[in-house]
Every structure is written in structure tokens, then in C-alpha cells.
């Protein structure tokens, strides 16, 4: 089959790889109908994460079940499924409390499974899904074509934005600040709006992203960064600060901003992978500002968010502003790398 392989920084190609089959009776084989490129895929693409050998890539996909192992109970061939960005059994001690990203049997797409057998990446024609009952969430019938981007967004970015809002404890009537205008930050805006936030401040300098943020429910835009951003939020909130803050970048500057704009007693829900973040420990203590979040258990939120997408209540697929056939996956990466696209969708 054809799958996306990263050979070296900036050298990404659609290549022939071995067809996947079922290895364990809990596996399912999925024919991918749509996949996408993640901001985190850009790290090895840019060479920030080392690429020592050619590797299959991609961890966000939807598709149709082709075949299931003998122990798979909840799925059957023909089912349309959404895959979260990690696979998990959904039954272990951590999964049961909603922390599927810490599943004792789980793992990442594009890496070896417990038997040392490679699991496919998401940006290809087919994927062997381990622990299929626990991992894949079905809509049963194949959804309308225009719902597919929104379902695909549940693989990662919408579940991650939702996790930021859950972790920050967003409540009805809150004033929420979202730091970061990437696809995750935009989904954070949508999540906060869906949870009833009254005022949602997005920090964004890009007109196209501001537009999506407004469509998702942002009420205010702050274009400045650093101290200027903190001053702007202080002014917007009459000196009080935000009831909840979503940190969706992961740099030290964005975390400092997120903590500084939080009101006393507020929580920063963070999902940006932290890079050299140095917490202002004494300030957090003095003002009772907490941090919560991490690798988002997208699987926990998938059934609820699937229903909301199918009901037309949320449309996170708006974050996709580029769609190309899988054969042009290199352009999907280049457009995101060069910031010509917020998020790229590829169709096999």
C-alpha cells in the first residue's frame, strides 16, 4: 500500500510499504478515507526532532473498517471510525478514569506495538489498529462528506482543545483567555464556547485564524504578545484577570503569559507540549494559580464530541483550510511549515 514516509528533514514522500494484516485477534484493519497533518508532525519534518531512519508518520485519521480480529466485539466491517492519536484498551486502571493516554497497553501510531510489530502511521491507505474495541470510535454509518473534516478533527486537535478547557475548569459565564491560535487553540475557543464561557479572548496576530476563532465563539482578539498581552487582558477584565486560561502553544513565553493573565484561584489548562518552560513558582503560590493538563486523552472525549458533530452542534473541521489528495502529502506539510495553512487534510 501507499503510506507517507519521512526520510529526512523536509524529505517527505508517499511510498510503497508492506500491506498491513491482522496480528492479534483484537486488531482491526481500517481503510483510511481522510487523514491530516499535526503541528507535532512538523518537529521531525523540520529536523527539530531527529530523523535517524525513514519512518511512517501520521496519527490522525478516519476511515472504514475492512476486517476485524476474532475478539473484536464492538466493530464490524463497513463501520466508519475515528481514531484518537494514541491507541488504548479503554479498560485498564488508567483508561477507566479517562486517562487513555496513560493506558498500560496503549501506544503511538507509527511505532512498535507490544509484540515489536510496527503499527502503521495514519497518513496512508490502510492502518492496522491494535486494541480496536478500545481505540476506535464508530459512527456506524458513513457520515456525510461535509461532516468528515469535523470528525477527523476529533482525532487530536478538538479533543486536545477540549482537554485544555476541561483542565482549566471552564464554567458557564466565565471569561476565558486562549493562548495560541493554531488548530488546537482554535478548538480550545470552540470548547470554551460550548462550555458556556461568556467572554473568550483569543491571542492571535493572523487574520485568517482570528476569523476561525470568531466563528468558534471568540469575543475579543489580543494581537500583542508578552507584557502587552498581559496588560490588554488586565484592561479587558478591569484588572481581575481571566477565570480560566488555555495554554495551547508550549513555549516559555506563552506559559508565562497564560499564568500572568489568570486571576487568583484560576487554573491554566495546558496542552502545548512544554519546551523549556520555567514556572514562576512563587507567583503561582502567592496567587493560587494552578496548572493542569498534558497529553490529551482524546479517546475519553470522542463519543461525546462525535455526537455533537453529528448533531451539528460543533464544527471543528473549520480548522482545515487546505485539502489535497494523499499523493500531494508533501504539499500538505509544506503549506503548514510555511504557515500558508492552519491545518492540512489529505484524502487517500
Site for a copy of itself in 141-170 (CB under 8 A): 167
234 near a copy of itself, judged by CB under 8 A: no
Closest-CA residue to 200 (of 252, 165, 239): 165
Closest-CA residue to 4 (of 120, 140, 156): 120
Measure CA of the first residue to CA of the last residue in the chain; give whole Å.
11
CA distance 188 to 217: 10
Residues 6+ apart with CB under 8 A from 333: 12, 37, 41, 42, 45, 344
Per-position x/- string for 266-285, each x denoting binding to a copy of itself as judged by CB under 8 A, each - no binding: -x--x--xx--x-x-xx-xx
Residues 6+ apart with CB under 8 A from 45: 6, 9, 10, 12, 333, 337
Q: Which of 59, 263, 299, 306 binds a copy of itself (CB under 8 A)?
A: 263
Site for a copy of itself in 64-103 (CB under 8 A): 93-94, 97-99, 101-102
Determine contact, residues 153/170, Cβ cutoff 8 Å.
no
Q: Which of 42, 118, 292, 310 binds a copy of itself (CB under 8 A)?
A: 292
Least Å from the CB of residue 243 to a copy of itself: 8
Q: Closest CB to a copy of itself among 188 and 274?
A: 274
* Rounded (10°) CA dihedral 158, 162, 163, 168: 150
Least Å from the CB of residue 36 to a copy of itself: 22
Q: Closest CB to a copy of itself among 138 and 237?
A: 237
Q: Closest CB to a copy of itself among 281 and 311?
A: 281
Least Å from the CB of residue 102 to a copy of itself: 4
Residues that bind a copy of itself (CB under 8 A): 93-94, 97-99, 101-102, 167, 240, 263-265, 267, 270, 273-274, 277, 279, 281-282, 284-295, 297
Amino acid at each position: 500500500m501507499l503510506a507517507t514516509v519521512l526520510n529526512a528533514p523536509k524529505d517527505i514522500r508517499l511510498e510503497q510499504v508492506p500491506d498491513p494484516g491482522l496480528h492479534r485477534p483484537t486488531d482491526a484493519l481500517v481503510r483510511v478515507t481522510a487523514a491530516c497533518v499535526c503541528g507535532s508532525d512538523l518537529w521531525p519534518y523540520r529536523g527539530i526532532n531527529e530523523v535517524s531512519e525513514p519512518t511512517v508518520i501520521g496519527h490522525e485519521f478516519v476511515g472504514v473498517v475492512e476486517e476485524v480480529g476474532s475478539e473484536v466485539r464492538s466493530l464490524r466491517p463497513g463501520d466508519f471510525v475515528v481514531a484518537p492519536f494514541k491507541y488504548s484498551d479503554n479498560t485498564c486502571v488508567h483508561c477507566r478514569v479517562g486517562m487513555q493516554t496513560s493506558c498500560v497497553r496503549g501506544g503511538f501510531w507509527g511505532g512498535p506495538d507490544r509484540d515489536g510489530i510496527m503499527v502503521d502511521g495514519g497518513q496512508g491507505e490502510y492502518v492496522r489498529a491494535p486494541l480496536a474495541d478500545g481505540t476506535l470510535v464508530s459512527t456506524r454509518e458513513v457520515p456525510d462528506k461535509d461532516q468528515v473534516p469535523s470528525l477527523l478533527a476529533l482525532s487530536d486537535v478538538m479533543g486536545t482543545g477540549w482537554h485544555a478547557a476541561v483542565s482549566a475548569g471552564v464554567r458557564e459565564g466565565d471569561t476565558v483567555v486562549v493562548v495560541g491560535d493554531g488548530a488546537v487553540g482554535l478548538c480550545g475557543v470552540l470548547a470554551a464556547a460550548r462550555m458556556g464561557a461568556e467572554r473568550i479572548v483569543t491571542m492571535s496576530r493572523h487574520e485568517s485564524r482570528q476569523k476561525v476563532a470568531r466563528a468558534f465563539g471568540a469575543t475579543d482578539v489580543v494581537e500583542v504578545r508578552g507584557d502587552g498581552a498581559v496588560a490588554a487582558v488586565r484592561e479587558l477584565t478591569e484588572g481581575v484577570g481571566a477565570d480560566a486560561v488555555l495554554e495551547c502553544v508550549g513555549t516559555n513565553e506563552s506559559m508565562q503569559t497564560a499564568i500572568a493573565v489568570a486571576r487568583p484561584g484560576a487554573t491554566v489548562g495546558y496542552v502545548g507540549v512544554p519546551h523549556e518552560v520555567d514556572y514562576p513558582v512563587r507567583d503561582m503560590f502567592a496567587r493560587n494559580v494552578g496548572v493542569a493538563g498534558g497529553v490529551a486523552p482524546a479517546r475519553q472525549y470522542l463519543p461525546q464530541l462525535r455526537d455533537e458533530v453529528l448533531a451539528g452542534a460543533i464544527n471543528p473541521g473549520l480548522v482545515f483550510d487546505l485539502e489535497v489528495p494523499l499523493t500531494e502529502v508533501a504539499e500538505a506539510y509544506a503549506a503548514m511549515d510555511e504557515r500558508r495553512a492552519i491545518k492540512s487534510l489529505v484524502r487517500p
